[in-house]
Amino acid sequence: MDFEAWWLILIPILFGLGWIAAKVDVRQIVSESRNLPDSYFRGLNFLLNEDHDKAIDAFIEVAKLDSETTELHFALGNLFRRRGEIERAIRVHQSLLSRSDLPRPDREHALHEIAQDYFKAGMFDRAENAFQEVQNTSYAISATRALIRIYEAEHDWEKAIAAAAHLRELTDEPLPQRVHYHCERAQAALSAKEPDFDRAATELDAAQREASHNMEQGGSQASYARIAILRAYLARRQGDGNTERQWLLSALERSPEFAGLMAKQIMDNFAASGQEEQAVSLLRDHYFAHPSLDVFEVVFAALRKQGFAPAWQFAQDSLRQHPSLLGFDKVLQSELTQEQNSDGPDQLQQHMPDFDLSLLRSMIEKHTRRMDKYACRVCGFQAHTYYWQCPGCNSWETYSPRRPEE
């Protein structure tokens, strides 16, 4: 009974304390809100209505009235940057950094913000310095990602490799782009006026190690395809056709979807040793298992050299199984080329004497021109050339080796 009596006394006391605390909180909120200028609330209202011009004007008025409102300065700088008014964003963040009484967390925040301003303005040198200043802060991960993008844009692959290694220490996430950094260095060594084969081989060895590490974490097959294609190219430059063929066939087996990127190289390798028939048979079988417009074009061109019948039989079989306006357009293009290079009318033209092939192709090409592109899976950026890194969003390995129609 004594215990229950104590509860009867305690409950009203707790209720009363809660009521008093609530009244104090409400009074404090009302008091603080009265101290805020009306332009602050107008700015919020404009921002909610996505009227950024009026919101900026309202917030500038607040900032003039109270220069100590750091959070408002950050919001204002972000609005300027989003609207593309980079100079105004930089001035806002510079005004914060010029304050000697700015707390350390706010100073780091301002450095990170002004680094983003410089980056968006294309002032990579200043952006790099600013991002490096926040490397040992809570902004380290985002700053390192930004530094990687800067080094990629500048094609400074050595710095990009180091920055990606630092990012791996911070996040332990798979970084497939490290493979491509070494591949870019290898490609540069092979494309130089005086090719450095040893350096290219060293870079490809490093790329192979990175690819093996990524495969353990569920990496894609695109990395292996690029390494194998470059190793095959290196072997060809060194006059080693057998090694070139081994790498090409290995890539064909391990990365079958990327066959279109190496089909022409495979055909040239086999043709150099008088084995073009074997290459045609190999690529034709591969095409029916893994259809690709680029493989179709290489096989059709090789068969067309042998005559009209085998090439058109392959074309008919292919287009029946995998209908494609792009494929048919490539066939017509090949036939028009044959007609221009021959003395007499082409065999297809003999079967269609009353039809103008150039007119037919021009009609189809209007529809296929927009399809004959590779597309990024992330941003949708389209290009006639295959890219390992998307020029639109800078993502790696996001281009499919097939066109959208395929």
Helix residue ranges per DSSP H, 69-196: 70-82, 86-97, 104-120, 124-133, 140-153, 157-171, 177-191
Residue reference for tokens 């919101």: 55
A 10 A CB-CB count for 10 gives 10
Whether residue 332 lies inside any domain: the answer is no
Angle in degrees, 0-180, between the axes of helices 293-306 and 325-341, rounded to the nearest 10: 30
Based on the fold, state whether residues 168 and 75 are members of the same structural domain: yes
Based on the fold, state whether residues 88 and 146 are members of the same structural domain: yes
Tens digits of residue pLDDT in 213-253: 776 655 578 899 999 999 999 999 999 999 999 999 999 99
Based on the fold, state whether residues 161 and 74 are members of the same structural domain: yes
Whether residue 229 lies inside any domain: the answer is yes
> Residue 396's beta-bridge partner residues?
389
Based on the fold, state whether residues 201 and 116 are members of the same structural domain: no
CATH number at residue 79: 1.25.40.10
Question: Using CA atoms, how far apart are residues 68 and 351, in angstroms rounded to an integer?
Answer: 84
Q: Is 346 left (phi over 0), alpha (psi -120 to 50) or beta?
A: beta
Whether residue 140 lies inside any domain: the answer is yes
Q: How far apart are the first and last CA of the chain?
A: 83
Based on the fold, state whether residues 160 and 178 are members of the same structural domain: no
Full-model pTM? 0.74
Question: Using CA atoms, how far apart are residues 176 and 257, in angstroms rounded to an integer?
Answer: 18
**Nearest alpha carbon to residue 79 among 54, 98, 62, 61:** 54
Question: Using CA atoms, how far apart are residues 257 and 46, in angstroms rounded to an integer?
Answer: 51
Question: Using CA atoms, how far apart are residues 59 and 76, in angstroms rounded to an integer?
Answer: 7
DSSP state of 389: B
Residue reference for tokens 């097939």: 402
Based on the fold, state whether residues 81 and 99 are members of the same structural domain: yes
Whether residue 263 lies inside any domain: the answer is no
Boundary-marking domain end, from 254, 284, 316: 254
CA 16 remoteness from chain centre? 60
Whether residue 383 lies inside any domain: the answer is yes
Whether residue 379 lies inside any domain: the answer is yes
The binding site consists of: 376, 379, 390, 393
How many structural domains are present in the chain?
3
Question: Using CA atoms, how far apart are residues 22 and 223, in angstroms rounded to an integer?
Answer: 61
DSSP state of 259: G
Based on the fold, state whether residues 117 and 151 are members of the same structural domain: yes
**Nearest alpha carbon to residue 42 among 51, 32, 31:** 51
Whole-number pLDDT of residue 13? 58
> Residue 376's beta-bridge partner residues?
399
How big is the CA angle at 258 (ends 256 and 264), to the nearest 5 degrees?
A: 105
Based on the fold, state whether residues 134 and 206 are members of the same structural domain: no
CATH number at residue 209: 1.25.40
Whether residue 61 lies inside any domain: the answer is no
Q: Which domain holds residue 71?
A: 67-172
Boundary-marking domain end, from 220, 254, 288: 254
Tens digits of residue pLDDT in 169-178: 898 777 888 9
The binding site for Fe cation consists of: 376, 379, 390, 393
Tens digits of residue pLDDT in 336-395: 565 555 544 455 555 444 444 554 455 456 555 666 788 888 888 888 888 888 888 888
> Residue 383's beta-bridge partner residues?
374
Tens digits of residue pLDDT in 43-98: 545 544 555 555 555 555 554 445 456 777 787 788 778 888 898 888 888 877 88
Based on the fold, state whether residues 215 and 239 are members of the same structural domain: yes
Based on the fold, state whether residues 149 and 224 are members of the same structural domain: no
Q: How many residues in total does the chain contain?
A: 406
Boundary-marking domain end, from 111, 145, 172: 172
Q: How far is CA 7 from CA 3, 18, 39, in A?
A: 7, 16, 50
Question: Using CA atoms, how far apart are residues 389 and 98, in angstroms rounded to an integer?
Answer: 39
Helix (H) or strand (E) holding 382: strand 382-383
Based on the fold, state whether residues 106 and 134 are members of the same structural domain: yes
**Range with the largest mean pLDDT of 22-31, 59-68, 142-151, 355-364:** 142-151
